[in-house]
Chain A
């Protein structure tokens, strides 16, 4: 006999304490990015003041121009390279992973389950630990110190195949695939005309997450592109921040420029990114 009905938290209305707590969290989350912007708009004096500036100044364009005109940092080129690298990796991941995910979810072939187990096992392997050998492999192919070496390892992802398989299994009814088959459609056409339109939401989610990861990647691009005249923006940033004396307002203007594309993505595709992360959790 329960005399006291306990209500589930998700049915409980948030109190002012809830909103206060969340507001503090949001402040904590946004402040470093905001302050990045503040410093990128400031003069040297404002940065060195105590306490340092907390409101934006008017020097943003001056600082940005300095970043772009610095010799041997190649900042403008680095932004284009990052768009190129992250764009190609995203497009390839979406294509290859949806193809494989479709095969695993809807096609019948020998060894399907065993191969899917292999995909799931590779999910857990930390690839970063193979970078020394990967460098030697790239050397043998002749790609060391090129953008190709940065792009190639990112073209597919085990998570992508797994995610696509799960989504296609639910989003594409078997009868639809069978019906198209009976009508004489080849598998490639089924993929193109039935599967792709049905999985657009999943493509958006995987595409956003892949782009963010590729854009932010640092260690491998640093190994490959440090010292070349075609770095990615993360490598160029580390270059900008190195040296005997560092000019904060300039470094942070660069940091802000390299962050803006992702802020834009968050504003456009925030819902999808949130959904992607929350769905991934349920499935794991």
Chain B
């Protein structure tokens, strides 16, 4: 693809020179104003549908705002936020969100690292392996969760069948949705399934930009591939590790689709019969659009925003320190 070939075309289509004044005005417009016109669609749309709602959300959180009773308005002060502290549903959802987050993010990133290391070899069909592991990333979560819901079902589920196959079968088949721990594991499995391949490609990309002489210069006599991975590769790709940790924190703490669709009745947004796997994002949806209390839902969104900031900050510091030996 030669770019210079395009030049004659642009020459042919150049507008014929017009009268001096018009041309001057047009030139000024073209160089002074056009750049702003080019960037304005992004900024205008992003301001209206991205930034403004986020700020306005803070205002809504301080007001009474009910969809079922429009007459009930006015400032609520911090009443919505105070309510959070005594709301058992909120703390329960917070616990579920963190439980699922830890069960999904840690195995996810470790598995991605190991898979990236497998891909970082001279292989036959390089591209096909990479495309293959991306299938879960493209599959709609709503669709795949429905498969996993059957996989983890109590009666005739493949997961229980597999457990009994390897000798962990129980007299009464395990009802995965019924307990917190088992529901969390089931949901974390879905999250891991979706994101391992994606993260592996991010790691692979970073691994391939490590200069080869780093390996050659490393005087680790007889270092096997395993020591090579942990002592050379991982420290070298630490910035991308930090990036994926932040990404999975932001995504994991807003988990919505998996717990929604894992429910026996998805549209109830209950997160299980006793909210045993209801996440905060799900609770926000329920409070806002089932209980119709937008003010309270907004304050919950703000709380979640702060929680994400804090956890992302802690994880940033932690992952930087882990690789900080270099």
Contacts and interface: CB of A to CB of B under 8 A. Distances in A.
Interface of A: 2-14, 18-19, 21-22, 25-26, 28-30, 32-33, 35-36, 39, 47-52, 96-97, 99-100, 102-104, 107-109, 112, 115, 118-119, 122, 125-137, 152-153, 155-156, 158, 161, 171-173, 176, 179-180, 183-191, 193-194, 197-198, 212, 215-216, 218-219, 222-223, 226, 234, 237-239, 241-243, 246, 248, 251-252, 255-256, 258-259, 262-263, 265-266, 270-271, 273-274, 277-282, 284
Closest 8 CB pairs of A and B: A130-B53, A270-B131, A255-B143, A278-B205, A109-B35, A133-B53, A130-B54, A103-B38
A271 B256 contact: no
Contact of A49 (B11, B156, B198, B201): B156
**Interface extent on B, as a size class?**
35 or more
Contact of A32 (B147, B207, B267): B147
B298 interface: yes
25 contacts: A8-B214, A10-B207, A12-B122, A13-B121, A14-B123, A22-B118, A25-B115, A48-B155, A128-B281, A130-B53, A131-B301, A132-B288, A133-B52, A133-B60, A133-B298, A176-B4, A184-B14, A193-B6, A198-B1, A198-B6, A223-B289, A258-B142, A277-B134, A278-B205, A282-B209
A47 B157 CA distance: 10
The secondary structure that dominates the B interface is: helix
Contact of A243 (B222, B261, B265, B285): B265
Nearest to B161: A51
A9 B233 contact: yes
A218 B141 contact: yes
Given A183-B11, A188-B34, A189-B13, A9 B267 contact: no
Nearest to A265: B138
Given A29-B132, A99-B42, A100-B41, 10 more contacts: A8-B210, A10-B208, A30-B135, A36-B144, A107-B35, A109-B35, A179-B7, A191-B38, A197-B6, A259-B140
A71 B167 CA distance: 45
Contacts of A278: 201-202, 204-205
Given A9-B225, A29-B133, A274-B134, A50 B156 contact: yes
Interface stretch (B43-51, B90-98, B318-326): B43-51
Contact of B13 (A122, A185, A255): A185
Given A11-B122, A107-B34, A161 B54 contact: no
A280 B297 CA distance: 34
A24 to B, nearest CB: 10
Given A134-B49, A137-B53, A274 B122 contact: no
Interface of B: 1, 3-4, 6-7, 9-11, 13-15, 17, 26, 30-32, 34-36, 38-39, 41-43, 45-46, 48-57, 59-60, 65, 114-115, 117-124, 127, 129-136, 138-144, 146-151, 155-158, 161, 193, 196-198, 201-202, 204-210, 212, 214-223, 225, 228-229, 233, 240, 243, 250, 254, 256-257, 260-261, 264-268, 281, 284-285, 288-289, 294, 297-298, 301-302, 304-305, 308
B118 A99 contact: no
Contact of B54 (A14, A127, A184, A252): A127
Given A115-B39, A133-B57, A33 B135 contact: yes
Contacts of B41: 96, 99-100, 155-156
A99 B301 contact: no
Contacts of A107: 34-35, 38
A255 B212 contact: no
A173 B3 contact: yes
Most chain B Cβ neighbours within 10 Å, of A5, A29, A226, A266: A29
B151 A14 contact: no
Given A132-B301, A223-B285, A281 B240 contact: yes
A237 B149 CA distance: 14
A246 B265 CA distance: 9
A134 to B, nearest CB: 4
B215 A136 contact: no
Given A109-B35, A132-B57, A193 B10 contact: yes
A274 B243 contact: no
A133 B3 CA distance: 46
B14 A198 contact: no
